[in-house]
Amino acid sequence: MRINQKVRYGVACLYELSKNPQGYTDANLVAHRQEIPTAYAQKVLQLLAQAGLVIGLKGSGYRLASPLETITVLKVMEALSADQSGVEHEGEIGIVIEQRVREALDTISLACLSNK
């Protein structure tokens, strides 16, 4: 399984926001610190806000909606997925594998990743 660039940028943005848990951080600053193109960081942060993972305040920036311990890799992937249709792999084994992968990704919090 390969994690796409949008998810990588999303995790980087969330990690940067976690450095200032009570305050808001401007998208441009997040982009600069994480070496992400500004327009891409802004789009990713907007999608994360729509999913409820971050809170955006016009003129102030973004902050985490909840601690990194409660945000899983699966939540980030779902928030940034281009395909929201829920189409599963054909065949029973494909469905079982997909469910197991989803269950595993739902146990990995971003806090675990930031400690490595």
Over the stretch 51-101, which tens digit does the pLDDT of each residue have?
A: 999 999 999 999 999 999 999 999 999 999 865 445 555 678 888 888 888
* Domain architecture of the chain: domains with CATH: 5-114 (1.10.10.10)
**Do 5 and 11 touch, CB atoms closer than 8 A?**
no
* C-beta of residue 31 within 8 angstroms of C-beta of residue 37: yes
Task: Give percent above pLDDT 90 in the chain.
Answer: 62
Q: Distance between CA 11 and CA 4 in Å, rounded?
A: 11
Q: Answer for the pair 14, 110: CB distance below 8 angstroms, yes or no.
A: yes
**Global pTM value:** 0.82
Residue type, 110: L
